[in-house]
Amino acid sequence: MNDTTRESKQLLHLVFGGELDSLNGTEFKDPSKIDIVGIFPNYASAHTAWKAKAQQTVDNAHMRYFVVHLHRFLDPA
């Protein structure tokens, strides 16, 4: 199977997180401790990973996980 016969286009997403300095911001308390969950081939699988990590850290209000749409950086058009 080549790229032209794929049923859906690969849209990479990065899931990462860590402890934030402030509840109102997005700066990490210690960037060296950022948890890289992984890179996923589509939003659905990234969302599943994000949700699992977010639920594991629900007791710490300063912990936040994010989904980054890598495909937008790779192909901005």
pLDDT score for 75: 76
- The CATH T-level fold of domain 9-74 is Alpha-Beta Plaits (3.30.70)
Position 77 scores a pLDDT of: 65
Domain ranges of the chain: 9-74
| pLDDT number for residue 74 | 83
φ/ψ of residue 33, rounded to 5? -105, 15
- Greatest Cα pair distance in the chain: 48
Long-range contact set of residues 44-49: C-beta below 8 Å, sequence gap at least 24: 45/13, 46/13, 46/14, 46/15, 49/15
Position 24 scores a pLDDT of 93
**pLDDT reported for residue 7:** 55
How far is it, in rounded angstroms, from Cα 38 to Cα 47? 11
State the pTM of this model: 0.82
Rounded average pLDDT per 10-residue block, the chain, 77 residues: 56 97 94 97 97 95 96 80
